[in-house]
């Protein structure tokens, strides 16, 4: 006589989530153009043709969560810190601060802000479409170039403050 085991009954709440409602998907569920690391097997946010759904991905964990939030938090806080610092150095207690000092600090803060904003958008929008991913990837790289140059300009100004000829030579090189 063949003995059968107990009949498996699925819990009513344990229904499978429809493919289009899943928060994250696996490497095999994403388009080929998004597969840039074969060792990351899961946690991708799904391909989204709707920007609202892309924005909603801020509410759950996925592969880009740390990238998005570290840049987003920096992009939100930097203008607050920059404003406080610029207002402080422009105050009467710093009598030797020149307009050029103010400009140099502003160059640095603006370049850092552009890098943070471009990177936030790139890591957030990357799942929207191949065209959007390619555009914002270029903008992310541009932001890196901008912050690099935006760091060198004030750095050279302050390092060679007493050597105007060397200052101009280094600015020309950069």
Which of 54-91 are b and which e, b meaning 16 or more Cβ less than 10 Å from the residue's Cβ?
Answer: beebeeeebbbbebbeebbebbeebeeebeeeeeeeee
Tokens standing for residue 57: 């991905």
Tell me whether residue 11 is annotated as binding. no
CA pair distance 30, 36, nearest whole angstrom: 11
Tokens standing for residue 90: 């422009």
Instruction: Specify burial of residue 126 (Cβ count, 10 A radius: 0-12, 13-18, 19+).
Output: buried
CA pair distance 131, 128, nearest whole angstrom: 8
Helix 164-173, helix 130-159: angle, nearest 10:
160
Binding-site residue numbers are 123
Annotated binding site for Zn(2+): 123
């Amino acid at each position: 006589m063949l003995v059968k085991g107990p009949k498996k009954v699925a819990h009513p709440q344990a229904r499978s989530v429809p493919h289009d409602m899943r928060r994250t998907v696996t490497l095999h569920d994403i388009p080929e153009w998004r597969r840039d690391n074969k060792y990351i097997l899961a946690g991708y946010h799904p391909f989204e043709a709707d920007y609202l759904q892309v924005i909603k991905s801020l509410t759950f964990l996925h592969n880009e969560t740390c990238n998005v939030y570290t840049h987003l938090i920096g992009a939100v806080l930097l203008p607050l810190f920059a404003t406080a610092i610029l207002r402080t150095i422009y105050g009467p207690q710093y009598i030797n601060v020149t307009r050029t000092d103010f400009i140099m600090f502003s160059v640095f803060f603006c370049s850092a802000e552009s890098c943070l904003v471009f990177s936030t958008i790139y890591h957030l929008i990357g799942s929207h479409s191949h065209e959007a991913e390619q555009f914002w990837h270029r903008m992310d790289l541009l932001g890196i170039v901008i912050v690099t140059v935006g760091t060198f300009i004030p750095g050279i100004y302050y390092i060679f403050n007493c050597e105007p000829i060397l200052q101009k030579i280094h600015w020309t090189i950069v």
